[in-house]
Each structure stands twice: as C-alpha cells, then as structure tokens.
Amino acid sequence: MSGVVAGVDIGSTTAKCVILGEGSRVLGKSLNPVGVDIVKDAEHALEAAVQDAHLSRSDVAFVTGTGYGRYKVYFGQLVVTEISCHARGANFLFPGTRLVVDIGGQDTKAIRINERGEVVDFAMNDKCAAGTGRFLDVCANALGCDVGEIGPLSLQARHAVKVTSTCTVFAESEVTSYVSRGKDPKDILAGLHASIASRTLSLMQRVGVEPEITFTGGVSQNEGMVHALGRRLGVPVNVSPLSQYLGALGAALHGWERLPGGAA
Amino acid sequence: MITGGLDLGAGTIKGALLEDGRRILATAAAPSRGSPVHTAHRVLDELGEAANIAPGDVDYLCTTGFGRYTIPERNLQVSDFTSSARGAIFLFPKTRMVVDVGAQASRTMSVSETGKVLKFKMNEKCAAGAGRFVERCAKYLQIPIEEMGPKGLTSVHPKLISSVCAVLAETEIINNVAEGVPLPDILMGVFLSLSQRAFSLMRYVGIQPEVTLVGGLVRNVGMVKALHDTVGMDVNVTPEAYYAAAIGSAVLGHSRLLKLAQSSRGAGG
C-alpha cells in the first residue's frame, strides 16, 4: 500500500499542509498566506507540500481538510475540525500532552485531551481579537516593528510596562501613549505579551490547567509568547518547529486512520 | 449668575456657559489632543468670546468627564453619569433614559424627573460599542466622519456585521467592500451594530420613554436612525445634546452656587 496522506489546514491567515508517509514520517510541508480565493490557496498548499516532499500529487492517497476554511478543501476526502486535529497533532508530537493551547491569527483555543489524543473539553475565543495573533499584529504595527521580531525584542525588556486595556483598539492607543511618554518598545512588548498570557490563562482555566501543556498555532512561533506563557503558568510549555503545522499534521493523522491498512 | 461646564472626554473637550442655570449662552468644543489643560483653556476662551464674557465673569466652573480632575481652577467636579443625566433633563425635561455613546465608552442610565441617576450600565472595555469604532471605519473606508451619517441614511439593504469586535469587524467590512457591497449599506450596518450594543445596555437598565441620546454621536444622523430602528421608539435628539454633559455640569454648578449663597446668607443672618 502506498501510504502517503496529506493534511491541509486553512487558517484565517495562513494555509498549511503536511505530507505524511509510512511510519507517520513527515515527508514534506508548506505554509502560505491565505488570500481571497481560499479554494486556490488550499490547492496551492497541497502542491507546495508535495513538491517539498519530492513527490507528485498522484502519490497522495488521502487528503484531510481542517481549519476555518476546511470546507473549501474540495479535493479532500475527509473534513475534521481543527480542534480534533490540534489535539491529535499535539498528542503525536508530545504524547504527554493534556492541554493544547492554540493561538492563531484570529482566535484562541484551549483544548483538554486524553492520553489517546481525543478531545475531552475545549474553550474558545473567536469573538474578540484580544489575545489572538491579530492583537500582536496591531500592536507590532503601532510600534513600527515586524511581527517576527517582537517576540525576541520582548525578551530583552528590563521593566515591563503594564498594559491594562483588554480591547485591541484601546491597547493600540495605550501602546501609542507609552511610546509618546518615552517608554522603551521592548518594555512595552513585554507588557503586551504578559497581557496575552494572562488572557490565555483564563481561557485555559475554563477547561482546567493540566500539564503537559503544548502550545500550537502561528503565535507559538513567537518565543516571547512561549516565555510569557510559561512564566504565567509556572511550568514550561511544549513547542516544536512543527507547532504551527500541528493542525495540518493532526488532519493527516486522522486521514491515515482511514486508509485501508492504515494505523488504527 | 454665569456658570461654566467643561466636559473633558476621551475624544473631545466640550464646554458650555449658562446664565442662571437656565439659558445657554454659548457652547464650544475642541479635540482632546496633547495637554487637556491647554485645550480646556482654548475651549473656555472660545466660550467667553462667543458669549462676550470676560473669563473673570464666570462665577463657577464645574468639570466632568474622564479628565475632570486635570483643571486646577475648577470649583467642582461631577461624574459623567451625573452631568449627562442632568444635561439630558435640561434639554428634554421628560427624559427617563439617557443613552450616551462617546468616543471611548458608551453608557445608559435611567433618571428621575429631577435628573438623578437611578441605574446605569457602561461599556468602556471594548471599542466595538463606542464612537471609536465609527472613527476607525471612517479611516479605512476613507470617508470624512461627518459624511458617514448622511451617506448611511441612503442605505437600501443595510449590511449587518456579524463580528462583535471592532478589529475583526474591520476585516469583515473590508471583505464586504471587496465583494462590492454599496458604501451606504456598509455604513448603516456599522450604525446598526453600534445601536445593537447600546440597546443591550439599555435593556439591562430597563427601557422607558422618553429616551434621549447625548454625546459624540448625536450629530450622526445615520446613528440616530439606526438607534431609532433598533429600539423601536422615538429618541430625543438635538444638536445641543452633543454638549449635554457640559451643559449638565453648568446646571449642577449653578445649583451648588445657589446652595452656597443660601448657606452663607443663613450663617451671616
């Protein structure tokens, strides 16, 4: 049996794809921004990952779609919610995971899982940009920084400021007023990261905080956020370079089980 | 007797001069940027000029709003709730419910016939229910803020906004623009979304007529229409309601001055 499967995760900001081969080995992956034409973005994600794996599209026996745009993965055979996929992906990378924290571009989720990677409970904020990647984008913009550099910069802070606004719009004004008062951008950034960490913690508390905790989603690539979250929790959180692909990876794993002769 | 009221809001500083707590002599406003004291003085100067009154002729100055403690020469300061309620009663004596949508916060309160606040509810945590949301829309829709209301009124099929967050709504609105939704429909959708927010605050307090709209958004005809449609009853509006909190504090200043005069007369006699 040619055991090659793909998982395509269409998020609010980026499309991710992971190709899995025999023995659940990651053969290839891709990450691209999402535009207006989601159907095309999904196809592009698969093609890029297939190329990365040095395969051709016909080698892929099964495709699973997930994420916010999962119903636009028309070429897939299966659709699974991103909650199940993150749970499955986190369990695969860190089998001791009991709580998954997924901070994406537009929403945040806390997912409690069992030792088999099944979802036990979850809580989600998708109503408000506060505490999501979008919050960091807006604040980075207000500080004139690139979103990729704000994490490392925040780690150099000496006296983190206290950001009191919850609302992204008001936090943006608060950032501007700190800048005009001459505060160091690094200290402001540390305050912003701490503020998201607190917000995330309250979401996590709704499902119950239980280690190990695995951090996924786009914001997990921000080391400042990894640090702030670990500090707020009092225990370090699991992260991996694959964290951002965890939804896609989980989708591929779900697909794997559907393959005739695939892992049970 | 001339009393002044200054409302130091998050977006604008508004001022009013009253004669004997009954007649409005002048109103003025300036955006609150930089030093509030400096801007407040500009507003006071403007008021004096408009009413043809020297600064020394103002018998009593009462401040209100977010920055009410920043003005050293104030004689009295009152909360925004108290002043808005008093101002609303001054403009529409039958007011029982006041809706105040400001730049950074929105409030609703039920008031007694004397203008006393009975119950209130406020949202200052989220920009989606405040004028700030409208300002941001003006910016990314590239339309002058004062044109938004009239343009919104021409809407045929308002495009409702599903996001309850000002930032997420921005994406939604930009998508709507990309899909070719007419601008008036988008604008009316914004006003309806804001009205919906105000309406839930109103329901919390308990809706009773007459309802008077005060604060930054009274001059926006689109917002007034949206609120009317959402609440399903007439809403009192007048251009002066923009200055309601400033007027209210001048009225309160006047009553305080009367009381002081009475007690000193009492003490003297």
Q: Chain A within 8 Å of B168 (Cβ-Cβ)? A: yes
Claim to verify: residue A111 and residue A221 sit in the same structural domain: yes
What is the per-residue pLDDT for A74?
A: 84
B171: which chain A residues are within 8 Å (Cβ-Cβ)?
106
What is the per-residue pLDDT for B26?
A: 96
pLDDT in tens, B29-62: 999 877 888 999 999 999 999 999 887 899 999 9
The answer to whether residue A261 scores a pLDDT higher than 80 is no
pLDDT in tens, A14-39: 999 999 998 889 999 999 998 878 89
What is the per-residue pLDDT for B268?
A: 54
Claim to verify: residue A136 and residue A224 sit in the same structural domain: yes
- Cis ω on the peptide bond leading into residue B210 (within 30° of 0)? yes
pLDDT in tens, A82-141: 999 999 999 999 999 999 999 988 889 999 999 999 999 999 998 899 989 999 999 999
Q: How far is CA A199 from CA A130, A178, A207, B86, in A?
A: 8, 21, 14, 38
Distance from CA of A149 to the nearest CA of B (A): 22
Distance from CA of A26 to the nearest CA of B (A): 34
Banded pLDDT at B185 (limits 50, 70, 90): very high
Right CATH number for B2-79+244-268 from 3.60.40.10, 3.40.50.261, 3.30.420.40, 3.90.550.10? 3.30.420.40
Domain count, chain A: 2
B126: which chain A residues are within 8 Å (Cβ-Cβ)?
128, 166-167
What is the per-residue pLDDT for B262?
A: 86
What is the per-residue pLDDT for A4?
A: 93
The answer to whether residue B209 scores a pLDDT higher than 90 is yes
The answer to whether residue A180 scores a pLDDT higher than 90 is no
Asked whether the beta carbons of residue B164 and residue A167 sit closer than 8 angstroms, the reply is: no
Claim to verify: residue A114 and residue A198 sit in the same structural domain: yes
Asked whether the domain spanning B93-237 has the same topology as the one spanning B2-79+244-268, the reply is yes
Residue of A nearest to B135 (CA): A169
What is the per-residue pLDDT for A181?
A: 85
What is the per-residue pLDDT for A166?
A: 87
Claim to verify: residue A104 and residue A227 sit in the same structural domain: yes
What is the per-residue pLDDT for B269?
A: 45
Right CATH number for B93-237 from 1.50.10.10, 3.40.50.620, 3.30.420.40, 2.40.50.100? 3.30.420.40
Q: Between helices B145-153 and B131-141, what is the axis angle to 10°?
A: 90
The answer to whether residue A264 scores a pLDDT higher than 50 is no
Give the residue from A34, A36, A127, A128 with the most B CB atoms within 10 Å of its CB, the best one to mutate: A128
What is the per-residue pLDDT for B81?
A: 93
Q: How many helices (H) and strands (E) does chain A have?
A: 8, 9
The answer to whether residue B195 scores a pLDDT higher than 60 is yes
Pick A65 or B263 by higher pLDDT. Answer: A65
What is the per-residue pLDDT for A1?
A: 43
Q: What is the mean pLDDT of residues A65-71?
A: 89
Claim to verify: residue A102 and residue A212 sit in the same structural domain: yes
Closest CB to B168: pick one of A36, A106, A170.
A106
Claim to verify: residue A117 and residue A212 sit in the same structural domain: yes
Least confident of A252-261, B72-81, B129-138: A252-261
- Dist CA A117 CA B8 (whole Å): 55
Closest CB to B164: pick one of A106, A127, A134.
A127
Q: What is the mean pLDDT of residues B108-113?
A: 94
Average pLDDT, chain B: 92
Closest CB to A138: pick one of B126, B167, B178.
B167
Q: What are phi and psi of B39, to 5 degrees?
A: -65, -40
B166: which chain A residues are within 8 Å (Cβ-Cβ)?
167-169
Residues of chain A in Cβ contact (below 8 Å) with chain B: 36, 106, 127-130, 134-135, 138, 166-170
> What is the residue extent of each domain of chain B?
2-79+244-268, 93-237
Claim to verify: residue A109 and residue A228 sit in the same structural domain: yes
What is the per-residue pLDDT for B264?
A: 79
Average pLDDT, chain A: 91
Q: What is the CATH number of the domain that holds A233?
A: 3.30.420.40
- Dist CA A25 CA B245 (whole Å): 67
- Dist CA B24 CA B87 (whole Å): 11
Q: How many helices (H) and strands (E) does chain B have?
A: 8, 10
- Dist CA A11 CA B198 (whole Å): 32
Banded pLDDT at A2 (limits 50, 70, 90): low
What is the per-residue pLDDT for B267?
A: 62
pLDDT in tens, B121-151: 998 888 888 888 999 899 889 999 999 999 9
Banded pLDDT at A226 (limits 50, 70, 90): very high
Contacts of B239 (CB under 8 A, 6+ apart): B218, B219
- Dist CA B6 CA A259 (whole Å): 73
Tokens, residue A165: 């606004």
What is the per-residue pLDDT for A36?
A: 78
- Dist CA A163 CA A176 (whole Å): 12
The answer to whether residue B162 scores a pLDDT higher than 90 is no
| Number of Cβ pairs < 8 A linking chain A and chain B | 40
- What percent of chain B clears pLDDT 90, i.e. is strictly above it? 70
Chain B residues 120-159 with CB within 8 Å of chain A: 125-128, 132-133, 136
Asked whether the beta carbons of residue B165 and residue A128 sit closer than 8 angstroms, the reply is: yes
Chain B residues 178-237 with CB within 8 Å of chain A: 178
Q: What is the mean pLDDT of residues A53-75?
A: 90
Claim to verify: residue A122 and residue A28 sit in the same structural domain: no
- What percent of chain A clears pLDDT 90, i.e. is strictly above it? 72
Asked whether the beta carbons of residue A166 and residue B125 sit closer than 8 angstroms, the reply is: yes
B128: which chain A residues are within 8 Å (Cβ-Cβ)?
167
The answer to whether residue A157 scores a pLDDT higher than 60 is yes
Segments forming the whole domain that contains residue A261:
1-94+245-264
| Prediction ipTM score | 0.75
